[in-house]
A and B are shown apart, each in its own frame.
Chain A
Amino acid sequence: MSDPAERPSWAVYPTHSGEPAEGGVLGRSERKVDGLSRITGAAQFTDDLVLPRMVHGKFVRSTLPHAWIVSIDMSAAMALPGVVGVAIGPELPKRYGVIPVAQDETAMAIGKVRYIGEPIACIAAVDEETAHRAARLVRVEYEPLTPIFTIEDALDPSKPHIHEASRKPSNILRRVFQEYGDVQKGFAEADLVVEDTYEYPGSTHVPLEAHVALACPEGHGKLVLWSSTQNPHYVHRDVAHVLGMREQDIRLIKPTVGAGYGGKCDPFCTDIVAAHLARKLGRPVKIALEREEVFYTHRGRHPARMWLKMGFKKDGSITAVDFKAWAEGGAYASYGVVTSYYLGVFMPLPYTLENYRFESHRLYTNKPPCGPKRGHGAIQPRLALEMHVDRAALALGLDPAAMRTANCIEPDTETCNGLKVTSVGMKECIAAVVEASGYAAKRGKLGPGKGIGLAASAYMCGALHPVYQNELSQSSVQLKVDRSGEVTLFSGTADCGQGSIHMLAALCAERLGIEPDDVRVIEGDTSLTPVDLGSYSSRVTFMAGNACVAAADKVRDKIARAAAVKLGVEVGALVFRGRQVYVDAAPERALTFVDAVWLAEEMFGPIGEVGGYKPHKIGSRFRRQSVGPSPAYSFTAQVAEVGVDVETGVVTIEKIWVAHDCGRAINRRVVEGQIEGCVYMGVGEALYEEQRYRGGLMAVPSLLEYKVPTVHETPEICTFIVETHDPNGPFGAKEAGEGPQLSTVPAIANALHDATGLWFTKPPFTPDVVLAALTTARRRAGSA
């Protein structure tokens, strides 16, 4: 890290960055405050909730990829005993979506279906089985339209529009073009140009808990909605919008969520239709998706075709990057506009780059919609970039690790596309994994069928600009301090397993010198908790953490002022630690935290404070650069060691070493768990997972067919935490929940090259793909 005094003005924000852990909580490796409730089955997930008179909703789904709906006959379904009500698309005509410029979705299809599995109608019945049976009695008559299944067809202006209102020449949701520096000049100066195409497959999140919503009408036209969501705030807004209700008349509660990985970022048909039917029927309605339906709901990784051209000097420095990507997005926009930017904007990280150009397209096809999946939009191009770096290193006779290290950006750098980077632990990450894995000694020397590969990456810590423009806090936290010493923390965040409840409890405890268990976190309840934008873009630790510290600072200040009077010292002489407030120079002069809270309440009245966070303005040189800038960036390096069975094509990952710069680790064990979860998901995408289609039909809509790694396929993961103390993060923290996934697939791909001499540019690297490539290579070698 550079000297704080030399930092540019945008790199300084008062968040206790780099301060020692006065409270003794920061940086511990410990259990989560909400761990036991989840382990023992006590935690209540949405599907665990039951209300009196509750009925169950089941969707009727499209069987065609692209068609006009001619008629819907529900008479047989409605005649079935136990059926209490139905709803169809035209009852909910308002379009919605998280991204304001791309609200193209309705809760159920209106007039036209755009993918197989799209909801058309919903049946409510006294139990799930009856609803299911009734749904199968619904007859839908269609008039088929030409479906669009491929990137070529989506770009073809002669093909029909999936969204007939679109004014674009073909089925393009968004095209983004950005150019920085002088790309032509950069290539002219290059000693080596590497150019190739890559194809990254679509994949889906598979949270074990399916999407569930439970709605209950209250008196006075009000409604409570429980939803298994990552983003309570956006669900709240969109449900109100579609139902034509005032937001304050809806209470949105997020119970315990059985993971999301990006798959529960959108407001879903479950939320909107459950709320609609509850109002219509005047009784509680639960809609729980089945596993097969989750595959149709999707919002997973965009399949992307990419073309990458990079220029290098002999010393390995990068002279220019030219990148094109076409992302096939399915039938609706979801977060696709953001995807189109994320495909390109992170490429100038983490290597120094002055001349950069990218063009990306996010396209509509007649398949389930793609959306944000862990590492959103940045995963696909990272494979191309990191494989290109290895190709260049080999061509130039350089060590890939040394070449990467030599070209790392320094802390407090502004990239060519205006990303303002504060802390950077990239070199330390590379050094950690290279040393631990023995990369230098093993590369090229492991023998036939064995290989080792390295990759590096960077990711964001929340978006600088909110999804819908406003000057409000992006995260806010409220603290209430009880005379018992219990601190209640209210936050609109949505812990979906990543540990944000613990993060908030720990930061609050650290600041007040108490234990995380002394803090009760109430989160994700729009009537109780102040707004937080949600669990996406790796924003929660950075933004909600900063809001939490801001609120805790105010509470601490009041308690300190009261304690200082009692102890006869200045406020600055006090330490908060071990559930005590004491004089730093004379620890025996102490108050218990509870006594100090009593004194503070006597002096100031009841103790409650709020804190908010929005990134300070760090205006870009580039007006159009509104998607991509983040208040901080995390960095990761990974080494994978693989074995390839040349007879069968089976790839085995022996071990993965991963080092991640998370800024500052709040709970080291939780950080490790996030990193390991990222690597796991990367291993799945590298070797097994693909959202495959036959035409428009999802071909593998079950966990038997869609292969996720079990304990047998998951390699040993050796994890290193690199701490950099970001100047703007809460106590210097950044993120760990997404960034580490970016470099997993390219590290494996580079290891596969080391093992086979072949560049595999199209994951997943399944046995048939690997064997076919090896056979072709052998044949070529034989005929040469």
Chain B
Amino acid sequence: MSEFESPAPELGPGRAPDGPAGDEVIVNIDVNGERVRRLCSASRTLLDFLREDLRLTGSKHGCDVGDCGACTVLVDGVPRLSCITLAVEVEGAVRTIEGCGPAEAPIIAAFDTHVASQCGYCTPGIILCLSHLYTETPCPDDTAIRRALGSNICRCTGYTKILAAARQVAAANGATHTDEPE
């Protein structure tokens, strides 16, 4: 059984059980490789849709206004701030940290090895941003790595270990030089 086949959220009073009512819309999207169809408020953010309706809690509430990056998910492979994206406006395939696979495995392993995650609240968003980076640029230099991480706030690490992990992945992908050696 798919993890998404749980019962839909309770419908409020006055709402028809068989279709959208009031400001409700049907969200019909691909999340982590599975088709998801849900009734929800037109104003529901993608972050709340993922966290509350689908119980995918790896994406985090950090600021809810697009300042911190903790809610980052991939839509068709491109990082999106799910806290300022409406669920209803999403058309592409969504990938969250729970949907990470072989492409992200080296990033996750490097983060583990380097202890690039302290409290871990920002980490899922950062992993997804880096996933996008290596897809576009398998062997990024330091400038590209920093640019990819520029919209993700980490308050714990000083980014040092995050950069070290990111450089390790770049090196494993065949990067011959970074402009800031270890």
A714 and B119: CB pair below 8 A? no
B154 → A minimal CB distance (Å): 8
**Contact residues of B between 106 and 143, Cβ < 8 Å to A:** 108, 111-124, 127
Set B58, B65, B118: member contacting A497, Cβ < 8 A: B118
B155 and A261: CB pair below 8 A? yes
A710 and B150: CB pair below 8 A? yes
* CA A680 to CA B151, docked complex, whole Å: 17
B157 → A minimal CB distance (Å): 6
Known A-B contacts A704-B67, A710-B153; A717 and B160 likewise in contact (beta carbons under 8 Å): yes
Mark B11-30 against chain A: 1 for CB-CB distance below 8 A, else 0. 01100000000000000000
Set A256, A497, A702: member contacting B156, Cβ < 8 A: A497
Chain A residues closer than 8 Å to B149, beta-carbon distance = 710-711
A702 and B117: CB pair below 8 A? no
A589 within 8 A of B: no
* CA A41 to CA B100, docked complex, whole Å: 10
* CA A417 to CA B175, docked complex, whole Å: 56
* CA A673 to CA B114, docked complex, whole Å: 9
Interface size class of B (residues with CB under 8 A): 35 or more
Chain B residues closer than 8 Å to A208, beta-carbon distance = 60, 62, 68, 70, 119, 121-122, 153-155
A669 and B158: CB pair below 8 A? no
B117 → A minimal CB distance (Å): 5
Known A-B contacts A36-B112, A40-B100; A708 and B160 likewise in contact (beta carbons under 8 Å): no
A431 within 8 A of B: no
B117 and A35: CB pair below 8 A? yes
B118 and A677: CB pair below 8 A? yes
B39 → A minimal CB distance (Å): 15
B180 within 8 A of A: yes
A50 within 8 A of B: yes
A258 and B58: CB pair below 8 A? no
* CA A711 to CA B123, docked complex, whole Å: 14
Mark B141-181 against chain A: 1 for CB-CB distance below 8 A, else 0. 00000100111111111111111000000000000000010
A742 within 8 A of B: no
A288 within 8 A of B: yes
Known A-B contacts A36-B112, A288-B61, A291-B62; A673 and B123 likewise in contact (beta carbons under 8 Å): no
B95 → A minimal CB distance (Å): 12
Interface size class of A (residues with CB under 8 A): 35 or more
Chain A residues closer than 8 Å to B58, beta-carbon distance = 40-42
B63 and A291: CB pair below 8 A? yes
Q: Which of A82, A290, A711 has the most CB of B within 10 A?
A: A711
A680 and B121: CB pair below 8 A? no
Q: Which residue of B lies closest to A288 (CB)?
A: B61
Known A-B contacts A676-B160, A677-B157; A256 and B120 likewise in contact (beta carbons under 8 Å): yes
A499 within 8 A of B: yes
A703 and B118: CB pair below 8 A? no
A259 and B119: CB pair below 8 A? yes
A724 → B minimal CB distance (Å): 23
Chain A residues closer than 8 Å to B13, beta-carbon distance = 81
Set B60, B97, B159, B180: member contacting A680, Cβ < 8 A: B159
A712 within 8 A of B: yes
B98 within 8 A of A: yes
A594 within 8 A of B: no
Chain B residues closer than 8 Å to A82, beta-carbon distance = 12
B159 and A39: CB pair below 8 A? no
Chain B residues closer than 8 Å to A291, beta-carbon distance = 62-65, 67
B61 and A41: CB pair below 8 A? no
Q: Which residue of A lies closest to B51 (CB)?
A: A48
Set A40, A498, A683: member contacting B108, Cβ < 8 A: A40
Known A-B contacts A41-B124, A258-B121; A207 and B155 likewise in contact (beta carbons under 8 Å): yes
Chain B residues closer than 8 Å to A40, beta-carbon distance = 58, 97-98, 100, 108, 124
A716 within 8 A of B: yes
* CA A535 to CA B67, docked complex, whole Å: 28
Chain A residues closer than 8 Å to B85, beta-carbon distance = none
* CA A696 to CA B159, docked complex, whole Å: 34
B150 and A497: CB pair below 8 A? no
* CA A36 to CA B117, docked complex, whole Å: 9
A496 within 8 A of B: yes
A659 within 8 A of B: no
B55 and A680: CB pair below 8 A? no
Chain A residues closer than 8 Å to B100, beta-carbon distance = 40
B59 within 8 A of A: yes
* CA A596 to CA B163, docked complex, whole Å: 43
B57 and A677: CB pair below 8 A? no
* CA A288 to CA B111, docked complex, whole Å: 28
A258 and B60: CB pair below 8 A? yes
Set A42, A497, A670, A711: member contacting B119, Cβ < 8 A: A497
Known A-B contacts A288-B61, A680-B157, A710-B150; A35 and B98 likewise in contact (beta carbons under 8 Å): no
**Contact residues of A between 1 and 58, Cβ < 8 Å to B:** 31-32, 35-45, 47-48, 50
Q: Which residue of B lies closest to A37 (CB)?
A: B120
A412 within 8 A of B: no
B153 and A41: CB pair below 8 A? no
A215 within 8 A of B: no
Chain A residues closer than 8 Å to B114, beta-carbon distance = 669
Mark A697-740 against chain B: 1 for CB-CB distance below 8 A, else 0. 00000111000101110101101000000000000000000000
A370 within 8 A of B: no
* CA A108 to CA B128, docked complex, whole Å: 40
Chain B residues closer than 8 Å to A496, beta-carbon distance = 119
Mark A365-406 against chain B: 1 for CB-CB distance below 8 A, else 0. 000000000000000000000000000000000000000000
B106 → A minimal CB distance (Å): 12
Known A-B contacts A39-B111, A41-B97, A680-B159; A259 and B67 likewise in contact (beta carbons under 8 Å): no
Chain A residues closer than 8 Å to B127, beta-carbon distance = 39
Set B52, B117, B158: member contacting A714, Cβ < 8 A: B158
A679 → B minimal CB distance (Å): 6
A209 within 8 A of B: yes
A206 within 8 A of B: yes
B159 and A44: CB pair below 8 A? no
**Contact residues of A between 278 and 313, Cβ < 8 Å to B:** 288, 290-291
* CA A468 to CA B119, docked complex, whole Å: 29
Q: Which of B108, B121, B154 has the most CB of A within 10 A?
A: B121
Q: Which of B12, B68, B122, B151 has the most CB of A within 10 A?
A: B68
Q: Which residue of B lies closest to A498 (CB)?
A: B118
Chain A residues closer than 8 Å to B150, beta-carbon distance = 710-712
* CA A702 to CA B153, docked complex, whole Å: 13
B156 and A39: CB pair below 8 A? no
* CA A37 to CA B98, docked complex, whole Å: 11
A257 within 8 A of B: yes
B157 and A259: CB pair below 8 A? no
* CA A483 to CA B150, docked complex, whole Å: 49
A673 and B153: CB pair below 8 A? no
* CA A311 to CA B58, docked complex, whole Å: 56
Chain B residues closer than 8 Å to A714, beta-carbon distance = 158-160
Q: Which of B59, B97, B112, B163 has the most CB of A within 10 A?
A: B112
B153 and A703: CB pair below 8 A? yes
A39 and B120: CB pair below 8 A? yes
Mark A663-705 against chain B: 1 for CB-CB distance below 8 A, else 0. 0000101101100110111010000000000000000001110
**Contact residues of B between 39 and 77, Cβ < 8 Å to A:** 41, 51-52, 55, 57-65, 67-68, 70
* CA A45 to CA B120, docked complex, whole Å: 10
Q: Which residue of A lies closest to B128 (CB)?
A: A41
Chain A residues closer than 8 Å to B111, beta-carbon distance = 35, 39
Chain A residues closer than 8 Å to B156, beta-carbon distance = 259, 497, 673, 677
Beyond A256-B120, A669-B115, 14 additional contacts (C-beta under 8 Å) are A31-B112, A35-B115, A38-B119, A38-B123, A41-B124, A81-B13, A257-B119, A259-B119, A261-B155, A497-B156, A673-B157, A680-B157, A703-B68, A717-B160
A and B contact pairs by CB, cutoff 8 A, 28 listed: A31-B115, A35-B111, A39-B111, A39-B120, A39-B127, A41-B98, A41-B123, A41-B124, A44-B57, A208-B122, A208-B153, A259-B155, A259-B156, A291-B64, A497-B118, A669-B114, A670-B115, A672-B160, A676-B157, A679-B158, A680-B158, A703-B67, A710-B153, A711-B146, A711-B163, A712-B146, A712-B150, A714-B159
